[in-house]
Homo-oligomer: A and B are copies of this chain.
Amino acid sequence: MSDLEAPAQMDKKMIDLNSDVGESFGAYTLGLDDEVIPLVTSANIACGYHAGDPAVMRRTVSLAAANSVGIGAHPGLPDLMGFGRRAMAAGLEEIKGYLAYQIGALQAFAAMAGKQLQHVKPHGALYNMAERDPAIWEATAEVMAAVDRDLILFLPAATDRGVLDLIGRTHGVRPAREFFADRAYERDGRLVPRKLPGAVIRDHQRAAEQVLRMVTEGVVVCRDESRIPLTAETVCVHGDNPEALNLVRHIRQRLTEAGVAIRPVGEFL
């Protein structure tokens, strides 16, 4: 947990790259998993509620295992039609159930591949709901602690220190702060909403520089040009299309050139 006391960890210049994968379902293929998984160090694998099915989960876990990539559960709301992207007035106990169900299901596939889960990252609307209501982070940590205390919870880099501490102290679950490579930030450390202009950084060089600056200096330059301190142990990248893959390759190259080691978060947190 002391790694969270920021600069110390940054001296090690270690960073994790994570990506949402395993989002295919039945006859439907989504994402370039075969190509993005070898480029990242942590895989957020859909667990059947918003995407993914047992065959896809099994295949994706195997692919992650074969590439020594940290295996993570990416549980979502029970909304396949909406891809888990629509907020839902689900109660906290209902949400705990959804999390336990999906994390447990993925654990079985990890076991079949002779692996342990490394982390949990709530998906889509559930991640956003948790950002607005930290009780959902706590609920997630509570479930994780019960199911496997070694699991790491991914949450936004700007999450209140109080929430991070609570997760660690009360539930004994390690938080990993997440940074988004291709998203612009507000000065409060939150993402610029997608509907605003400039929310998504399409320029590969700018995105890679944003990642490098966060990793090496613990700083992000916001939409309004202000610089704020922001630290994260994992960086979210995408594998939806060839262009996205090129961005990941570019980020990897820039980090490597700068002497930053790219490792699964479970190895250095």
Contacts and interface: CB of A to CB of B under 8 A. Distances in A.
Interface of A: 23, 25-30, 48, 51, 53-55, 57-58, 78-83, 86-90, 93-94, 96-98, 100-109, 111-112, 125, 143, 146-148
Contact of A143 (B78, B87, B98, B112): B112
Given A107-B107, A112-B146, A54 B90 contact: no
A4 B125 CA distance: 42
A261 to B, nearest CB: 32
Contacts of A28: 25, 28-30
A81 B26 contact: yes
A254 to B, nearest CB: 30
Contacts of A102: 105
Given A100-B112, A104-B108, A83 B51 contact: no
Contacts of A29: 28
Contact of A111 (B83, B90, B146): B146
18 contacts: A25-B80, A25-B81, A26-B81, A27-B83, A48-B101, A54-B98, A54-B100, A55-B94, A55-B97, A58-B97, A58-B100, A78-B79, A78-B81, A79-B88, A104-B111, A107-B107, A107-B108, A112-B146
Contacts of A97: 53-55, 57-58
A26 B100 contact: no
